[in-house]
Amino acid sequence: MSAVYEPVSADAHPALTTEGRTLLYELVSTPSVSGAEAEAASRLVEFFEAHDREAFTDAVGNVHAPGDDTALLTSHIDTVPGEIPVEIKDGEAGPELWGRGSVDATGPLAAMAVAAVETGASFVGVVGEETSSRGARHLVETREEPEAVINGEPSGWDGITLGYRGFLAGTYVATSESGHTSRPEPNAIQHAIGWWNRVEAVFDPDEWRPTFEQVTTKPVGFDGGVSVDGLSMEATVDVQLRVPPNLTIDEVRELADAELETGTVNWKEPIPPVMTDPRTPLARAFRVAIRATDGDPRLLRKTGTSDMNLYAADWDCPMVTYGPGDSSLDHAPDEHLPLADFDRAVDVLVSVCESMEVGK
């Protein structure tokens, strides 16, 4: 490495024995909830500049450190809300960093920044993944396609994520005339409940099939009652559907729309599902690197959604998602990351980049 990064934080701990661990600690200590990523982005820029790498933020706040596009290392800067005291605790396998984002996805983000500096790979830290994926959407619209993409999300240091379900969100809206509650005609609230019950019935879970292969339906918000002027009854329901790769967003949307008897649904910009090939040179490089680090590679399919879905929709190149951390701790009140797993993930990323001859 060409320079020593000077920590911005004055805090110190005996477990912060490497530059990478220190960067991780500082980023987790910097609040970066979606929409407020600027300070964390600035720390990333400082880190790259300390290593004589060009770094800048774009119009939406993404951090770019251009390099060798044989591999683009990219993860998201933002976290979900929730204050977890940042501290290093003794765990069964050594010190653990506790704090919001340590797993999702500041751990993968910091590991990728360190690996990018060590190998010369291109790096982008994107914003807004936890909300609208505005950073990833801007990236595919404004950047040329790299030769390969390594997307940063927690898979465990020995796991490789190849697939994610898609995401479809919408808001159902209905109105009805106000009237006495003794009247038999259904009101707007009943219409909303009825539509959603029918949608859930269409996608009724099959206990014999993996969740990844099914549509998951989830209401996430409800509002209803008499209008301000007292002349009508109103109801809105915010809903989310996760779409497996064996279906398209349009197919799922059409099935949900077919259950409408009254009211309308305003669908938001969707995120398509993705399933990548485990036989690409990139995926093989990860399996080799994990074995070389004394791990047993695991190939994963996630029931959620990530920015890789958007990259795969616009870029026709090999890609996987990888990063340290137990994804069951995503958004959890006990989110924490073993620092030894972080170190192993950095080693794996460096090994993968070197095997792909990044920087050569």
26, 68, 96, 129: the active-site residue: 129
CA–CA distance, 195 with 170 (Å, rounded to integer): 13
Mean pLDDT estimate for the chain = 93
**Residue 294 reports pLDDT greater than 80:** yes
Q: How much is the average pLDDT of 259-286?
A: 96
Kind of pairing, strands 298-302 and 159-164?
parallel
Segment 100-126, tens digit of pLDDT: 999 999 999 999 999 999 999 999 999
Q: What is the pLDDT of residue 179?
A: 61
Task: Please state, for a pLDDT cut of 90, what percent of the chain lies above it.
Answer: 88
Token duo for residue 282? 């990139």
6 carries an active-site annotation:
no
26, 78, 96, 118: the active-site residue: 78
Residue spans per domain, the chain: 19-164+275-355, 166-267
Q: Which residues contact 79 (CB under 8 A, 6 or more apart)?
A: 31, 32, 33, 34, 100, 101, 104, 105, 106, 130
Homologous superfamily (CATH) for 19-164+275-355: Zn peptidases (3.40.630.10)
Q: What is the pLDDT of residue 107?
A: 98
Asked whether the beta carbons of 118 and 23 are under 8 A apart, the reply is: no
CATH assignment of 166-267? 3.30.70.360
Q: What is the pLDDT of residue 158?
A: 98
Q: How much is the average pLDDT of 69-88?
A: 96
Q: What is the pLDDT of residue 229?
A: 73
Q: What is the pLDDT of residue 5?
A: 39
Task: Please state, for a pLDDT cut of 70, what percent of the chain lies above it.
Answer: 94
335 carries an active-site annotation:
no
Q: What is the pLDDT of residue 11?
A: 56
Q: How far apart are the first and last CA of the chain?
A: 16
Segment 314-331, tens digit of pLDDT: 999 999 999 999 999 999
Q: What is the pLDDT of residue 201?
A: 97
Q: How much is the average pLDDT of 289-295?
A: 96
* DSSP H helices in the chain: 19-28, 38-49, 106-119, 134-142, 188-202, 249-257, 281-292, 308-314, 339-355
Give, in order, the Cα–Cα distances in Å from 314 to each of 80, 127, 310. 26, 18, 7
Segment 2-37, tens digit of pLDDT: 334 344 444 568 999 999 999 999 999 999 999 999
Segment 149-194, tens digit of pLDDT: 999 999 999 999 999 999 999 999 999 877 656 667 889 999 999 9
| Nearest residue to 47 (alpha-carbon basis) of 131, 104, 106 | 106
